Amino acid sequence: MNCHLSHAISHNQPPVILQQDQVNALLPLLDVKNELTAMFRSLGQSHAVQPPQTLTLLPQDAGDFITYSGAMAEQEVFGAKLSPYLITETAPVITAWTSLMSQRTGQPLLWCDSALLTTERTAGTTALAVDYLAKAKSSELAIIGSGAIALAHLRHVKNLRQWQSIRVYSPSLANDEKRRAAFTAIDERVVFCTSSESCIVGADVLMLCTSSGTPVVTNEQLSPGVLVTSISTNVANAHEVSPSLLLNADVYCDYKATTPDSAGEMVLAATELSWNKEEIKGDLPDLVNANCPLPDFSKAVFFRSIGLGLEDIAMAYGLWKLLQNQQQ
């Protein structure tokens, strides 16, 4: 379907530039799950390419930028997200922009601010994993974290299972009525916990949405069968779970070709605990293409994502299609 749609839309259009407010206006119209599913299916079938991200240091210690690139053959697009960290006399400047290029013409199709897209694709990727890896009758959802990423995670998973309970914990939520209201506006079932222990107990799915560089849960808090999802932050070797969890869990990730060499707990488990990345049971390309076993829930299930350039490309492509369809 994507292949035919790609051919139906002309690539001979002037490039579009989208600022953050324009991206924000389009996001509610974007089918994030469909775009990511199509991308991971293509990746699993060798119709997409995901090289490792690259870090470029700027001269004279002025900062750096990370390049997240990727290409999707069926959609006939390629591109990259550029994420700079620019040192100034005051606070550093941190931005992210995604370029989408045509494989037909070699010309740019879209430049867009990536801040909101990164949040959405991070949550959308976790939601895709939850849909595949959580028990079908999961009813208890727990979230640790209170930022934009946590809110996006809730939006993307709230309808994936028949949740009887949605519990949220973050130390900063105790006196933040505005942030608490943001959660309950998404789902009125949300209740706020006073400790991580009370949030986690009995959970079928636990989504870790923090910027912590060290574990926010202990192995002992995780019951057999619970699905734990974890995301990345910029802290070196950041890990929201103990590396030792990998020795006693069914481990999955977003992309097994790159994630084990970047995810903090995987790097530490490999170097300190003799864990082998070959123990990973599958990744999202495997899951979408039914090429790996699903968990049997006899132990905890761990899903780790680090974010892929292809996720950014897929989201930008989705936005570009929306704009082209609106014009037509």
Helix (H) / strand (E) element for 282: namely: strand 282-283
Question: Residue 97's beta-bridge partner residues?
Answer: 82, 113
Q: Two tokens at 182?
A: 């943001």
Prediction pTM value:
0.92
Spell out the alpha helix ranges (H) of 74-208: 115-133, 148-157, 177-186, 196-200
φ and ψ at residue 244, rounded to 5 degrees: -70, -20
Q: Which residues contact 28 (CB under 8 A, 6 or more apart)?
A: none
Per-residue pLDDT of the chain (328 residues; tens, 9 = 90+): 444 445 567 898 889 999 999 999 999 999 999 999 999 999 999 999 999 888 899 999 999 999 999 999 999 999 999 999 999 999 999 999 999 999 999 999 999 999 999 999 999 999 999 999 999 999 999 999 999 999 999 999 999 999 999 999 999 998 899 999 999 999 999 999 999 999 999 999 999 999 888 999 999 999 999 999 999 777 778 899 999 999 999 999 999 999 999 899 999 999 999 999 999 999 999 999 999 999 999 999 999 999 899 999 999 999 999 999 888 7
Could you report the per-residue pLDDT of 196-219, keeping only the tens digit for each? 999 999 999 999 999 888 999 999
Q: Taken in order 260, 265, 269, 272, is the CA torsion positive or negative?
A: positive
Half-sphere exposure of 295 (CA within 13 A, CB side): 27
Closest CA relative to residue 108, chosen from 17, 20, 23 = 17
